[in-house]
Copies of this chain bind each other. A is one copy, B any other.
Amino acid sequence: MIKKASVVEIGPRDGFQNVKEFIPTEIKLNIIDGLVKSGYKKIQMGSFVSPKAIPQMRDSGEIAQIVLERYPNVDFFALVPNLYGAKAAVKAGLKEIAPVMSLSESHNMANVKRTCAQSIEEIRKIREELPDVKITQDIATVFGCPFEGEMSVDALVEMIGKLRDIGIHAFTLCDTVGMAYPTLVEKVFRTVKKAFPGDEFNVHIHDTRNMGILNSYIALENGVDSVQAAVGGLGGCPFAPGASGNTSSEDLVYMLNKCGCETGIDFEQLLKTAKYTKSVIDGNFSGHHINIPEKPCVVTQE
């Protein structure tokens, strides 16, 4: 059984960025405050992207400066698409950044308008120009691409090899559109951990096909260093009304805590934060707990 699990909150980035209407900075800070109170030690607070591309993230610099000062014992990091964003994140005081590229050429082009080779070259520049920042590389579409379907694990190992050659040793393998499944998750983590024993591997799962909690569980069973999730299951896809987004943090933490797995996160406080988030944001919430009524519910017969 899983004894200990590191759960990383990414709602303030992957969750918020899927909310159309701009969320006031004050509300974003209230939610981050609730997450810190819940016991989170690592939170992705936003992304340093073009305000034109993702207006929702335009206050990431301001938020970074505030939370770094308020919560010195919490690790905050941000997603960055390029060197420009990386510099802005470091300028805001962040000690860790997550550049993003896709295993799939077609998704990388659609997402960051570059070939994979061009992305690796950009990440090399980031590594060189910002030697002191921790880089945890996001690799998208590892478990499947909306254009190319299932991806090859050999191709993943090859890409990680190229990234290690430019000095990257921490990775987050992303299930971008929720195409992961248990045997694939097991194969991927067993393979990369065997190939690169000293490196850090995290997982980012989407619950699109109702396997978010199961895939996260399988990743933990196979020694993943941390599991990412979003409060309220916030996120999803603008083109998929009703479709689930990220794995719901409170559902995942509830399951792990019930299993006696040490998460360091207080479920009740987290649920309170999820309910507050739902009350102040008109988004796509797929977390189940926020839909369970206070009163016990008797089901007729079974």
A residues near B (Cβ < 8 Å) are 1, 14, 17-18, 47, 49, 53-54, 79, 81, 100, 107, 110-111, 138, 140, 146-147, 174, 176-177, 181-184, 204, 206-214, 217, 237, 239-244, 248, 251, 254-255, 258-260, 287-289, 291-293, 295-302
Report the Cα distance A164→B14, complex, angstroms: 53
Q: Can you list 16 A-B contacts (CB < 8 A)?
A: A14-B302, A17-B300, A100-B301, A138-B302, A174-B302, A177-B297, A181-B255, A181-B259, A182-B255, A184-B258, A237-B297, A237-B298, A239-B295, A240-B297, A243-B288, A243-B297
Residue of B nearest to A295 (CB): B239
> Contact between B49 and A301 (Cβ–Cβ < 8 Å)?
yes
Residues of B within 8 A of A301 (CB): 14, 17, 47, 49, 79, 81, 100, 111, 138, 140
For the complex of A and B, the 3 pairs showing the least CB-CB separation, nearest first, are A146-B296, A210-B288, A242-B291
Report the Cα distance A244→B100, complex, angstroms: 34
Q: How far is the CB of A271 from chain B (nearest CB, A)?
A: 11
> Contact between A240 and B287 (Cβ–Cβ < 8 Å)?
no
> Contact between A302 and B176 (Cβ–Cβ < 8 Å)?
yes
Which of B47, B54, B208, B213 sits near A213, CB closer than 8 Å? B213
Given contacts A177-B299, A210-B251, 10 further A-B contacts (CB under 8 A): A18-B300, A107-B298, A111-B298, A111-B300, A140-B302, A204-B302, A237-B299, A239-B297, A241-B291, A242-B291
Report the Cα distance A259→B209, complex, angstroms: 14
> Contact between B289 and A255 (Cβ–Cβ < 8 Å)?
no
> Contact between A240 and B210 (Cβ–Cβ < 8 Å)?
no
> Contact between A243 and B138 (Cβ–Cβ < 8 Å)?
no
Residues of B within 8 A of A240 (CB): 291-293, 297
